[in-house]
Amino acid sequence: TTLLAQGITPVRIHTSLQMCICIHCARVTNCAAYHFVEEQHSQPNINKNPTWEPRNGSPTIQVHIRPDETQNAENALEKMWEEHEDETRRAEEGLDGGENGGGGEEPLFGEKQYDLSGSTSYEYDVVECEDFVEDKHAWVRNMPEEIRIANPDFVPT
């Protein structure tokens, strides 16, 4: 389901990152809105079929979009340059009377593909909810077992 279909209106606001309040809410174990956040993060669910939904117009979900245009591209360019240098060296060795004589069986270029597109990460956090019921550390007490096993020292942010 889309955000709009769920009655959630996307709004672009430039703000600082806040912690998801669901981790301290008594309703976290059965909340459809928190289930949506888990799904967006591809996280194991506390409850695979939550039955409780916050009132219409709530909660407020803050979405932080973080483009990382440089890291993947830089890594790919570095690999391309290394391959170029290796292939140039092989070609020069072949021209100097090397074993393949410059006409070897292996192609000198075009074998690999590189991703220069970069990547984008998304962070979803419930920052306001009219139905919030404070229960400190409710999420930690009910954390999905898969997360507890994979990372026993995990602290949600």
Contact criterion met (CB below 8 Å) for 10 and 63: yes
pLDDT digits (tens, 9 = 90+) for 91-131: 888 765 545 444 555 554 556 666 666 678 888 999 999 99
pLDDT digits (tens, 9 = 90+) for 11-59: 554 455 578 999 999 999 999 999 999 999 888 999 999 999 999 999 9
Model-level pTM?
Answer: 0.58
The better pLDDT of the pair 83, 8 is held by: 83
